[in-house]
Structure 1
Amino acid sequence: MELLNYKRFGQGQPLIILHGFLGSLDNWMTLGKRFAENYEVILVDQRNHGKSFHSDDFGYDEMVSDLENLIDSLELVNPILLGHSMGGKTVMQYAAFYPQKIDKLIVADIGPKAYPVHHDKILEGLKAIPIDKIESRQEADDALSDFVDIESTRIFLLKNLKRTPEGFEWKMNLPILCEKISEIGKELSHHLPIEMDTLFIRGGSSNYIPDEDWDDIEEIFPNSKLATIEGTGHWLHAENPDKFYELVINFLT
Structure 2
Amino acid sequence: MSIELNYLDTGGDGTPLVVIHGLFGSADNWRSHIKAWEQRHRVVAVDLRNHGRSPHVEGMGYTAMADDILALLDSLSISRAHLLGHSMGGKVAITLARQAPERVASLIIGDIAPVAYGHDHDSVMAGLRRVKEGRPANRREADALLAEHVKERAVRLFLATNLMRGEDEGLVLRLGLDQIQSDYESIMAEPAGSKPFTGPTLVLRGSASHYVADEHLPALRKVLPEAQLVTLDAGHWLHAEQPEAFRGAIDTFIDAL
So what's the TM-score if we normalise by structure 1?
0.96
Q: Residue 183 of structure 1 corresponds to which residue in structure 2?
A: 186
Q: Residue 101 of structure 1 corresponds to which residue in structure 2?
A: 103
Return the alpha-carbon distance in structure 2 between the equivalents of residues 53 and 133 of structure 1: 21
Aligned-residue RMSD, C-alpha: 1.3
**Equivalent residues in 2 for 1:196-211, closer than 5 Å:** 196-211=199-214
Return the alpha-carbon distance in structure 2 between the equivalents of residues 10 and 39 of structure 1: 8
Q: Residue 173 of structure 2 corresponds to which residue in structure 1?
A: 170
Contact 2:63 2:192 in 1 (8 A): no
The secondary structure found in structure 2 opposite 1:3 is coil
The secondary structure found in structure 1 opposite 2:127 is helix
Q: Residue 51 of structure 1 corresponds to which residue in structure 2?
A: 53
Any idea what the Cα deviations from partners look like across 1:103-133, whole Å, max 9, x if unmatched?
Answer: 0000000010111121111101111125454
Return the alpha-carbon distance in structure 1 between the equivalents of residues 151 and 29 of structure 2: 20
Contact 1:131 1:168 in 2 (8 A): no
Q: What is the aligned residue count?
A: 252
Any idea what the Cα deviations from partners look like across 1:126-166, whole Å, max 9, x if unmatched?
Answer: 11125454211100101111211111110100111111241
Q: Residue 7 of structure 1 corresponds to which residue in structure 2?
A: 8
Any idea what the Cα deviations from partners look like across 1:205-248, whole Å, max 9, x if unmatched?
Answer: 00001112212211221111100111x11111011100000000
Structure 1 residue 10, shift from structure 2 partner = 4.5
Q: Residue 39 of structure 2 corresponds to which residue in structure 1?
A: 37
4+ runs deviating over 3 angstroms: 130-133
Contact 2:201 2:224 in 1 (8 A): yes
- Unaligned runs of 5+ residues in structure 1 are none
The secondary structure found in structure 1 opposite 2:105 is coil
What is the identity, as a one-letter code, of the residue corresponding to 1:179?
S
Identity over aligned residues, as a percent? 37
Return the alpha-carbon distance in structure 1 between the equivalents of residues 192 and 27 of structure 2: 25
Structure 1 residue 196, shift from structure 2 partner = 0.5
User: Which of residues 210, 225, 229 is equivalent to 2:228?
Assistant: 225
What is the identity, as a one-letter code, of the residue corresponding to 2:100?
Y
Return the alpha-carbon distance in structure 2 between the equivalents of residues 192 and 200 of structure 1: 18
Q: Tell whether 2:239 aligns with 1:237.
A: yes
Return the alpha-carbon distance in structure 1 between the equivalents of residues 68 and 242 of structure 2: 29
Any idea what the Cα deviations from partners look like across 1:81-103, whole Å, max 9, x if unmatched?
Answer: 00000000000000010001110
Return the alpha-carbon distance in structure 1 between the equivalents of residues 119 and 133 of structure 2: 24
- Unaligned runs of 5+ residues in structure 2 are none
The secondary structure found in structure 2 opposite 1:200 is strand
